[in-house]
């Protein structure tokens, strides 16, 4: 059985060039996957819901902006900022729980009249476009590099 490693003149074992190229290809693919993951995380951000508190309150009462399951950051009149998953919203109060804690004791009730600022998780068009562009460019580059490596390692 032949080994993929061979000894040089001084007895030191070396890795053949083909194996080094395949490792480089794997490293490149791992780097591209990491970049894609980072870009993907940037597609959604917390963005302000309304320009001022009165507009925000009327939109909340109308049920236009927030629905149960939405992730929001609420700032109340007392200055407290809370990051919540909305569980219920009616004409008078917004109820939600901190992310990762969904027990009944953790539910926070905030009167709509006490809300002065709110941010909600929305899709960022610019970041989504950058993500899609990055995927396209990364895929084309990966394919091109893979073809170059494949043709370079072929023995004619």
In the chain, where the domains are located: 18-42+125-153, 45-122
Q: In this structure, what token pair is assigned to residue 94?
A: 């917004």
What pLDDT does residue 94 have? Answer: 92
Q: Tell me, what's the pLDDT at 101?
A: 83
Question: For the segment 58-103, what is each residue's pLDDT rounded down to a tens digit?
Answer: 888 888 788 888 889 999 999 999 999 999 988 899 999 998 887 8
Question: What's the pLDDT score for residue 9?
Answer: 58
Q: Tell me, what's the pLDDT at 109?
A: 92
Instruction: Report how far apart, in Å, the C-alpha atoms of 29 and of each of 20, 22, 32, 41, 140 are.
Output: 14, 11, 5, 19, 12
Residue 5 φ/ψ, nearest 5 degrees: -100, 150
Q: How far apart are CA 18 and CA 34, in angstroms?
A: 25
pTM, two decimal places: 0.51
The model's pLDDT over 50-60, given as tens digits with 9 standing for 90+, comes to 778 888 888 88
The per-residue pLDDT for range 28-49, each reduced to its tens digit, is 777 767 766 666 655 556 777 7
Position 135 confidence tier, pLDDT thresholds 50, 70, 90: confident
Return the CATH fold of 45-122.
Answer: SH3 type barrels. (2.30.30)
| Closest to 74 measured CA to CA, from 23, 17, 115 | 115
In whole numbers, what is the pLDDT of the chain averaged over residues? 76
Question: What are the residues whose beta carbons fall under 8 Å from the beta carbon of 134, sequence distance 6 or more?
Answer: 35, 36, 39
Please give the residue that has the higher pLDDT: either 104 or 43. 104
Locate 103 and state its tokens: 């027990």
Minimal CA–CA distance to 36: which of 128, 124, 125?
128
Cβ-Cβ contacts under 8 Å for 83 (sequence gap 6 or more) = 71, 72, 73, 98, 99
């Amino acid at each position: 059985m032949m080994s993929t490693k061979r000894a040089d003149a001084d007895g030191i074992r070396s890795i053949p060039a083909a194996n080094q190229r395949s490792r480089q290809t794997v490293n490149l693919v791992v780097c591209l996957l990491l970049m894609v993951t980072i870009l993907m995380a940037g597609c959604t951000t917390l963005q302000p819901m309304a320009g001022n508190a009165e507009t925000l309150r009327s939109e909340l009462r109308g049920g236009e902006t927030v629905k149960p399951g939405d992730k929001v950051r609420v700032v109340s009149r007392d200055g407290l900022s809370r990051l919540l998953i909305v569980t219920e919203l009616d004409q008078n109060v917004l109820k939600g729980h901190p992310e990762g804690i969904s027990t009944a004791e953790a539910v926070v009730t905030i009167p709509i009249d006490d809300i002065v600022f709110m941010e909600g998780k929305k899709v960022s068009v610019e970041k989504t476009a950058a993500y899609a562009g990055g995927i396209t460019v990364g895929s084309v580059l990966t394919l091109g590099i893979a073809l170059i490596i494949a043709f370079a390692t072929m023995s004619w």
